[in-house]
């Protein structure tokens, strides 16, 4: 049985610093320890090969399409995300790992080796738009 891992990304190579601002997910299907790269569209893509899920009830802060893209994944490896998104992905049953690794390939190698750890400090409180003093983002440090 294969296991799919999703990485929020804008370029397919680096992990996006924030789940909510990523344009894509790079989905890697681990089958018998091998990685197969597969890109899934994010909310900014206008390809006609996917369904739109923009108006489903219960999706916090406009990320509903992103949650739908994770439906067949077992793990989300990201760099940072807000508490509401973290809660939603956790409720979907996904393992969540928030890391300082920049490159998807490096994070994947460490995940497969069992050495990738999660830093819960990368989950941040979501600011209401009225109190949004920096577009709701915080500075996130990356490991070299």
Q: What is the pLDDT along the chain (144 residues), one digit of tens a residue?
A: 578 999 999 888 999 999 988 888 888 888 755 454 455 553 443 333 333 333 333 334 456 677 888 888 999 999 999 999 999 999 999 999 999 999 999 999 999 999 999 999 999 986 554 444 444 444 445 554
Residue 109 in contact with residue 130, Cβ under 8 Å? no
Whole-angstrom Cα distance, residue 82 to residue 26? 20
Residue whose token pair is 């409720």: 91
């Amino acid at each position: 049985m294969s296991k799919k891992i999703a990485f929020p990304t804008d370029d397919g190579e680096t992990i996006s610093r924030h789940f909510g601002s990523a344009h894509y997910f790079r989905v890697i299907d681990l089958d018998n320890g091998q990685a197969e790269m597969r890109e899934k569209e994010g909310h900014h893509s206008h390809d006609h090969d996917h369904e739109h899920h923009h108006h489903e009830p219960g999706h916090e802060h406009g990320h509903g399409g992103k949650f739908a893209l994770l439906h067949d994944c077992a793990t989300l490896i990201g760099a940072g995300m807000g508490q509401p998104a973290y809660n939603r992905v956790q409720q979907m049953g996904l393992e969540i790992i928030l890391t300082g690794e920049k490159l998807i390939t490096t994070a994947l190698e460490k995940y497969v080796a069992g050495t990738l750890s999660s830093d819960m400090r990368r989950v941040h409180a979501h600011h209401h738009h009225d109190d949004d003093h920096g577009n709701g983002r915080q500075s996130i440090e990356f490991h070299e």
